[in-house]
A = this chain, B = another copy of it.
Amino acid sequence: MKAIPEPSKRRLVLLERLLATYTEKTITSQRIEEIAGWSAAVVRRDVSQLDIHCGASNGYKVADLRNALKSLLNLDGEQHKCCIVGLGRMGQALLDNTELYDTPFKIAAGFDSSVNRTEILRSTFPLHPTTMLENIIKEEKIQYAILTVETQEAQPLAARLASCGILGIVNYTPCVLSVPPTTKVENVSLLTALETLSAGLGD
């Protein structure tokens, strides 16, 4: 089984999201093209790489397809622990955000350099001063970090996160983070997103 190309995987992530709210029992590549905008040929090539043969003449069985996607995307094993680094307005907005309810991702800790904030804020998981970052991440086996700090703190913290073995960083800052290739970065800052749109990109 050959490795799945990167552009395929990005679409498969979105396909999993799409199926999460799809109510019919089956779905055709043509229908996916109408919803998501990728050509039916691309959809069939993407799905065929999952090596499930869960559909012909009636389209794919949604349940089987979604299971195969979850398996490919590592969403069917145990929970993935995450932490929020930076508890300013953006970090606080994510504190009690329900988006991760019923997903394999769980926020297990929050960090901020202001002890004032870590003591005053209330959340369902413990908040710690940033000095504890390395200890807690290793102890709790945290795999992903959500970076919502001020721009000047972003690169130093990214470096610390990478060196304690974090697999991926969701980067809410507009900075380009410099980390070893073992740590993946997903850039989701408002400014970066707007610049991307302004360049005529996005689907």
Contact = CB atoms under 8 A, between A and B. Distances in A.
B105 A97 contact: no
Contact of A174 (B17, B75, B185): B17
A187 interface: yes
Contacts of A167: 197
Task: Report copies per complex.
Answer: 2
A92 B90 CA distance: 9
A185 B198 contact: no
Nearest to A181: B37
A13 B80 contact: no
A191 interface: yes
A57 to B, nearest CB: 25
A202 B17 contact: no
Interface stretch (A4-12, A112-120, A124-132, A133-141): A4-12
